[in-house]
Amino acid sequence: MIRFVTGNEGKVREARAALDARVEQFEYNYPEIQSDELATIAAHGAREASREVGEPIMVEDSGLFVDALDGFPGPYSAYVEGTLGIERVWRLTEPETDDTAAFRSVIAYCEGSDLADAPTVRDGDPPVAVFEGRVEGRIVAPRGDGGFGYDPIFEYDDRTFAEMEPEEKNEYSHRGRAIDAFAAWYGADR
Ligand code: ITT
């Protein structure tokens, strides 16, 4: 059983859809460091949480990167969602000619022991394996009431993520892709 340390139930629903019952939500409010790099934030969070929660453990850090806004809100997406709100992020983008954006996700996983067979490992104590996923789309006026967070303003192939069923969003989404990369390494037999 992997403990997914997050306060975000939307993330847990999506991880479960891809990894079955092998994921259990664990709420532990670890201090999130500030960095421009999602992998640095996620790896640091996994180390902090593993000391408190034990292992195996998974932390995910994600964000929306709007091209016309030079990647804003990026690693600050949760803060901006809570302060400006998603509609104002759409309004900031609306006057721009370029409406493209990407969601990015980094999963950090540690189980205490050596992870040398993982494709990307951040050395440290304990070592942390990281898996990344990314999806490109467009920022649009809010539509749909599924999903969570910025889903209503992120359009992929003519529909927003909030207009898709969770399984369908998982097929295309940054988190779905990061989880697939993780699952391909983690395997079915643990
Ligand atoms: P934890 O840190 O507890 O896991 P969080 O929601 O604070 O939960 P992050 O720090 O990783 O997560 O912030 C990610 C932000 O990006 C947050 O505002 C999310 O709503 C948003 N986000 C991430 N993935 C998303 C997705 O698939 N759809 C919509 N918004 C997403």
CA distance 178 to 83: 27
Nearest to 56 by CA among 118, 120, 116, 128: 128
| Architecture of domain 2-189 in this structure | Alpha-Beta Complex (3.90)
Q: pLDDT digit of tens for each residue in the chain (190 aa)?
A: 899 999 999 899 888 887 876 889 999 888 888 898 999 999 999 999 998 889 899 999 999 999 999 999 999 999 999 999 999 999 999 999 999 999 999 999 999 777 878 889 988 889 999 999 999 999 999 999 999 999 999 999 999 999 999 889 999 999 999 999 998 888 765 6
> How large is the angle between the packed helices 174-186 and 9-19, nearest 10 degrees?
40
Q: How many CB atoms lie within 10 A of CB 4?
A: 23
* Ligand 1: centre distance to CA 46 (Å): 16
**Is 157 known to be catalytic?**
no
pLDDT, position 21: 65
Q: Residue 33 is which amino acid? A: I
Q: Going by CA atoms, what residue is nearest to atom 17 of ligand 1?
A: 78
* Residue of 20, 36, 61, 158 marked active site: 61
Nearest to 182 by CA among 62, 19, 53: 19
Beta-strand ranges (E) seen in 32-177 are 57-66, 100-110, 121-122, 128-139, 154-156, 159-160
pLDDT, position 139: 98
Q: Going by CA atoms, what residue is nearest to atom 19 of ligand 1?
A: 149
* Ligand 1: centre distance to CA 149 (Å): 7
**pTM assigned to the model:** 0.94
Ligand 1 pocket (Cβ < 6 Å) reads 6-8, 11, 60-64, 77-78, 81, 103, 147-151, 161, 173, 175
Nearest to 42 by CA among 103, 105, 101, 102: 105
pLDDT, position 188: 60
Give me the residue spans of the domains in the chain: 2-189
